[in-house]
Structure 1
Amino acid sequence: MTRKLGIAVIGLGPAALPHSRSLIDLAGRVDVRYVASRSQERLDAYRAQFPFPGTTDIDAVLADEAVEAVIVLTPPASHRDVGTRCLAAGKHVLVEKPLELTVARGEELVAAARRAGKAFGVVLQHRFRPASLRLKAALDGGELGTVEAGLLQVPWWRPQSYYDEPGRGTMARDGGGVLLTQAIHSFDLFRSLVGVSKVVAAQVRTTSLHRMETEDYVGALLETGSGAPATLVTTTAAHPGHPERIEIIGSKGHAALVGGRLQLSFLDGRSEVVEAEGNTGSGANIMDFPHDAHRAVIADFLDAIEAGRDPVVTGEEALTSQRWIDAILAAGRG
């Protein structure tokens, strides 16, 4: 960009950490006009770490014409209302995952963005990891041949103390459990790589390791976009937590994406490795991962505003992943 874009952040929960580090890295492109929270205590704690101006007055943020875009990091139950207010005030919007509690609420937010004609993106940053981009290129370029089978595993861990925080693991605040809240990143990436066309069968459980309203285990048999079989297993009950895993069996080779590390093994004897940038937040420390992919999401959002195009992960893309998550959960609970 030839000038800095005026931007604000609304919501200062844990997700604010990688976003704030990213905004510092992107200081040449953005002017952070405000960070906003309803909680003065949370705002004070945040400003002890980061230099951005703070406020508890959301109306003032939205009334400021110098704010051209807003990153919405509030809990999922508020995304529709906060996002719609931002759009109505003429702001571009980047919202954290999941899009909303329900598909219906998400559809209202996406429709509001289309009516407003503003850039609207969703933070599903696993698509932006270098290994993910290389795997997509290998699939799109036919290097792996025909997709014959797929595997998605998210064997993460969250202690009970995580779910003891107010609203954690509830339908009213989060809209769902492991599949919508934690594994959505990996599921969205998997779907973007090979597609999903059918839920064959599913199991949904809350294990004895957690006291919570929503599920901490989901298993499913799926069909990819081409009709190939795929297996999904996601949980937050796998102590101490292990990197997520995507495997794709192709007619010309095999891909194993473990955390952020990709191993490509071709039938002609060639192999290739893309190393990971760091950990993935699979254990009790939920923020134990580098912010590189978040920075890439925000940079793409800025590029989209500048070019007048959609971000890579649009509201419609996020809705598609959430609809399939709903279908898996419905099959398991049915």
Structure 2
Amino acid sequence: MSSSIGIAILGAGIFAKEAHLPALSALGESAPTLKAVYSRSEKSSRDLAAAGGAALKLNEPPSIYHDGDPSTDLDALLARVDITAVIVVLPITLQPSIVLKALAAGKHVLSEKPVAPDVEQGHNLISTYRQEYQPKGLIWRIAENYEAEPGIRKAGEVIRSGKIGKVILFKAVVVNHIDKESKWYKTSWRTVPDYQGGFLLDGGVHTVAALRIMLPHAWTHLTGFASLNKGYLEPHDTIHTVAKAGDHFHGILEMTFASPTSSKPQADQFVITGTEGWLSLNEVEVPGEDGPVMRITVRSVVKTEGKPEEEKEDVIDVPASKGVSVELRSFFDAIAGKDDGLGLGDPQAALGDVAFIQAALNSNGEVVDLVKLLDGKHISAP
């Protein structure tokens, strides 16, 4: 990576420290230099700078920027000509304005999912980017690490290869336990329910993105119900949906962040069923492996003339928790003019993930046309 490309991280929360810094470290010399960090508070900015300097073994720690002083605020950071791109890891409701500010300053932008708090804001943001900044050669991508997770992408490849035949149905189950002591709940902005869905939006788009990568056709319709079962997780913490992809297939997504226990029932997280077999995908711990793996299990029908049908099982293990490194490398390659062919970070695709969650929150048993919602003909947010 050219030394002329410098980056800054905007936001000093948990994910910046625990995901982005390790991912940059894993990329080694192929990653550009982290030259600055920004947070609204000076303390959190200093903490991130110190962590970044240590994790990346920098000769000089990144410069510190924070609110309250014009010489060290976000505008001052964005005015630096040695910073080519920014990674935005800020609260959901704040990100759209910061994305536009960074683009206006001539910076390439990788912003954390979701693309926006709701479909309408996402539409406006994408429209502004396409009209004003994309023609200038600026790159804006959404950091959706499940979309980039190698195991999820491998499962999609297996399905598209025809290994299980034509997809006829799917099921995804997500069960999470969030208590008031969770580090994620203690993040101050997550305790203020000023955006739709709460954890269902923030975390739910991951699951929707994973299905988007694995399934061969886009959803067209959705119906479902949403509920709140733990008051401190308002406005909602649980959804059940049935989604349809035209005349191709349909399936179920059930998701909750209100599980009463940290232990989870034994169930496959993703199951895709086809005319010739099925595929399941789960994150598991494997003795001897350095970290969890995404385990893909494929059971397919083997037909041999003159013999009874048999079943064949294939198991594929792919190291997990690699998505952030993949999306960062792809973003940096794009800045350098290289196309890796992965198609990661498309804001319109990420908007489809938001539309799915928004429809699930609003449906209340009515069928929502997802195509019209994405076209802006049926926009509403709770």
TM-score greater than 0.5 by the shorter chain: yes
Aligned to 2:369: none
Query: Contact conserved, 1:300 with 1:312, CA < 8 A, in 2?
Result: yes
Partner Cα distance (1:93, 1:256) in 2: 34
> Is the aligned partner of 1:120 residue 2:143?
no
Q: What is the SS of the residue equivalent to 2:219?
A: coil
Aligned to 2:102: 86
Q: What is the SS of the residue equivalent to 2:252?
A: strand
Q: What is the SS of the residue equivalent to 2:125?
A: helix
> Is the aligned partner of 1:66 residue 2:86?
no
1:137 to 157, 161, 169: 157
Partner Cα distance (2:190, 2:365) in 1: 21
Partner Cα distance (1:317, 1:190) in 2: 12
Query: Contact conserved, 2:151 with 2:319, CA < 8 A, in 1?
Result: no
> Is the aligned partner of 1:222 residue 2:243?
yes
Aligned to 2:209: 188
Aligned to 2:298: 264
- Figure out how many residues of one structure are paired with residues of the other and give that number: 319
2:133 partner amino acid: A
How many angstroms does 1:142 deviate by?
A: 2.0
Q: Structure 1's 169 and 225: CA in aligned 2 closer, same or farther, altered over 3 A?
A: farther
Q: How does 1:1-334 map to 2 (within 5 A)?
A: 1-3=1-3, 5-17=5-17, 18-28=19-29, 29-51=31-53, 52-53=61-62, 54-56=64-66, 57-114=73-130, 115-117=132-134, 118-162=138-182, 163=185, 165-172=187-194, 174-194=195-215, 195-199=218-222, 201-207=223-229, 209-238=230-259, 239-240=261-262, 242=264, 245-259=269-283, 260-268=294-302, 269-275=311-317, 277=319, 290=321, 292-307=322-337, 312-332=344-364
Q: Structure 1's 241 and 188: CA in aligned 2 closer, same or farther, altered over 3 A?
A: farther
Partner Cα distance (2:13, 2:112) in 1: 11
Deviations 1:206-235 (A, max 9, x none): 11x442322111011111355422011101
Deviations 1:162-189 (A, max 9, x none): 44653325442x4322331112101111
Q: What is the SS of the residue equivalent to 2:168?
A: strand
1:106 partner amino acid: G
Q: Structure 1's 225 and 264: CA in aligned 2 closer, same or farther, altered over 3 A?
A: farther
Partner Cα distance (1:333, 1:72) in 2: 36
How many angstroms does 1:320 deviate by?
A: 1.3
Partner Cα distance (1:21, 1:177) in 2: 26
How many angstroms does 1:308 deviate by?
A: 6.3
1:196 partner amino acid: W
2:33 partner amino acid: D
Q: What is the SS of the residue equivalent to 1:113?
A: helix
Q: Structure 1's 212 and 131: CA in aligned 2 closer, same or farther, altered over 3 A?
A: closer
Deviations 1:131-150 (A, max 9, x none): 21111111222222111110
Q: What is the SS of the residue equivalent to 1:270?
A: strand
How many angstroms does 1:244 deviate by?
A: 7.5
1:30 partner amino acid: P
Q: What is the SS of the residue equivalent to 2:271?
A: strand
How many angstroms does 1:323 deviate by?
A: 1.4
Partner Cα distance (1:274, 1:4) in 2: 40
User: What's the TM-score, normalizing by structure 2?
Assistant: 0.77
Query: Contact conserved, 2:144 with 2:209, CA < 8 A, in 1?
Result: yes
Query: Contact conserved, 1:170 with 1:176, CA < 8 A, in 2?
Result: no
Partner Cα distance (2:123, 2:200) in 1: 19
Query: Contact conserved, 2:9 with 2:38, CA < 8 A, in 1?
Result: yes
Aligned to 1:284: none
Partner Cα distance (1:85, 1:148) in 2: 44
How many angstroms does 1:45 deviate by?
A: 2.5
Aligned to 2:287: none
Deviations 1:15-69 (A, max 9, x none): 1021111112234131111111121121232234220412222112110111111
Q: Which runs of 5+ in 2 are unaligned?
A: 54-60, 67-72, 284-293, 303-310, 367-382
How many angstroms does 1:202 deviate by?
A: 0.9
1:20 partner amino acid: L
Q: Which runs of 5+ in 1 are unaligned?
A: 279-289
Partner Cα distance (1:136, 1:4) in 2: 36
Deviations 1:230-265 (A, max 9, x none): 011101122215497111001122110113221122
Deviations 1:302-321 (A, max 9, x none): 12222266951211111111
Partner Cα distance (2:34, 2:352) in 1: 31
How many angstroms does 1:158 deviate by?
A: 0.9
